[in-house]
Chains A and B, each alone.
Chain A
Amino acid sequence: DAGITQSPRHKVTETGTPVTLRCHQTENHRYMYWYRQDPGHGLRLIHYSYGVKDTDKGEVSDGYSVSRSKTEDFLLTLESATSSQTSVYFCAISGLGTENSPLHFGNGTRLTVT
């Protein structure tokens, strides 16, 4: 798992509540990413980070925010969860970023919004 821990692994929440997912890495990698995986849609990039306090939007960022106050932690927040955000969320890291460096994924957080 390349030293990536996602928490929680499973969460059920109600529509309209805030939710924060955590990604913790022990690899000291600069680049971190949040993807969501939905049946028939592969993986889609939500947000990513180039370093501490340096983040940017991905393909499907609406309704999500992120924060990175330390190199090892990347938080994904759903300010007001909706049923369309029911998904499996994967955190990923890469070592170099400016070169062709593959992604290393965590084992995911399964989020259900009721």
Chain B
Amino acid sequence: GENVEQHPSTLSVQEGDSAVIKCTYSDSASNYFPWYKQELGKGPQLIIDIRSNVGEKKDQRIAVTLNKTAKHFSLHITETQPEDSAVYFCAASQNTNAGKSTFGDGTTLTVKP
């Protein structure tokens, strides 16, 4: 089955700096890669996703890059703000059922004011 590894497990940055979280996956059949943000006491929420036919996607301060050959994808957050502090999860799944996702173990991001 699919295996997703996520690094780092914790990340602390100063407000205004950039943050990068990286994930690798093992199954070459995976073709959908969402990123979720989880705030304390809540369920994860989708913040951005990318499909295997795209190398990069941006949404304001957030971007995701995908390298299919190397089987890794990354989340980039620029101009970080204190409200970006949360746990971030990457995931991988196949087109046939995106809900059957394999998740990384999560990254706790702390943005210091």
Using a CB–CB distance below 8 Å, which chain A residues touch chain B? 1, 4, 31, 33, 40-45, 48, 58-59, 90, 92, 94, 96-108
Nearest A residue to B44, CB-CB: A105
| B residues near A94, Cβ cutoff 8 Å | 98-99
A40-B105, A42-B89, A42-B106 known; A101+B99 contact, CB < 8 A: yes
**Tally of A-B residue pairs with Cβ under 8 A?**
76
List the interface of chain B (C-beta within 8 A of A): 1, 4, 6, 9, 31-32, 34, 36, 41-46, 49, 51, 89, 93, 95-106
Question: Which of B1, B98, B103, B105 lies in contact with A100, CB distance below 8 A?
Answer: B98
- Some 26 contacts from A to B, beta carbons below 8 A apart, are A33-B99, A41-B105, A42-B4, A42-B6, A42-B89, A42-B104, A43-B44, A43-B89, A45-B100, A48-B97, A48-B99, A92-B43, A97-B99, A100-B49, A101-B98, A101-B99, A103-B34, A103-B44, A103-B98, A103-B101, A104-B46, A105-B44, A105-B45, A106-B43, A107-B41, A108-B43
